[in-house]
Structure 1
Amino acid sequence: MQRLQTRPQFQAVLAGAIVARTTHFALHRNALDAMNTHTVASKTHDTPELFPVPGLWLGAMVPKRWAKRAVTRNAIKRQIYTVSADFSPRIPDTAWVVRLRRDFSRKEFVSASSEALKQLVRSEVQDLLQAGARAA
């Protein structure tokens, strides 16, 4: 599994369809062949492909708007990448982005490293990836 790293990679995947939603997350998907074909047709000799290695590509977006503290954003991203590593054999080789689309209550989850927050994030991401695997 490769991780999305550049802004153009994230933008290309976000331009695709939303294939699943949960209370706090959305799952975006875009096929690699369509993105690389478009990139190859318009690229110059100096511009590399967006996704040079075939396979599964995954990115996690946790905006400051929905998770104010860096420790919370990092904890959520770690949970996303851990759960997605477990699901990687069941997910088709395309590009995916898991995007946080709603905040977690700071009254309910006081600590970013609380076990309750980690369990909720893990369960929602598992549900999201299962729905994404079925939709693919």
Structure 2
Amino acid sequence: GTVRGMIAGQVHDIEGENQQPAEQLLERIHRAKTGALLRCSLRMGAIHAGARAEELEAISEYGEHIGLAFQIVDDVLDVEESAEVLGKTPGKDAAQHKITFPAVYGLEESKRMAERERARARASLERFGPRGERLKQLADLVVDRKA
């Protein structure tokens, strides 16, 4: 389930320290951690609201994409922003030799990837029409944030 997946993601994250950055490991880590947390939260809300099976599928897809976008942006901000802006010490991931999106893909490609994940997240909500607007706005906030 979700908890096991998140634990596995954390194990991969820790074991990934000091290893050569790898695209597959990076995606697996963040789908199991950030993606799973957001997907689960969104599904619980949708279930509580009485969502049908196809709506749950769309919400799950949104959670996957927005979770990945969140992590990509978080990794980019860790490289680009100051401690004052972030409210935490930047550069810790690099100092700990963690596998990050900028380490694997570079800053510019990481930013393009975040934009693609935002577009995919927004597209997954099309079936909801106007009811999906708040979640689309959330996708924008996640990608456009500065801290």
Q: Common fold, TM-score beyond 0.5?
A: no
Q: For the superposition of Structure 1 and Structure 2, which TM-score range results when normalised by the shorter chain?
A: 0.3 to 0.5
Which structure ranks higher in relative contact order (CA pairs < 8 Å, sequence separation ≥ 6)? 1
What is the TM-score with the length of structure 2 in the denominator? 0.35
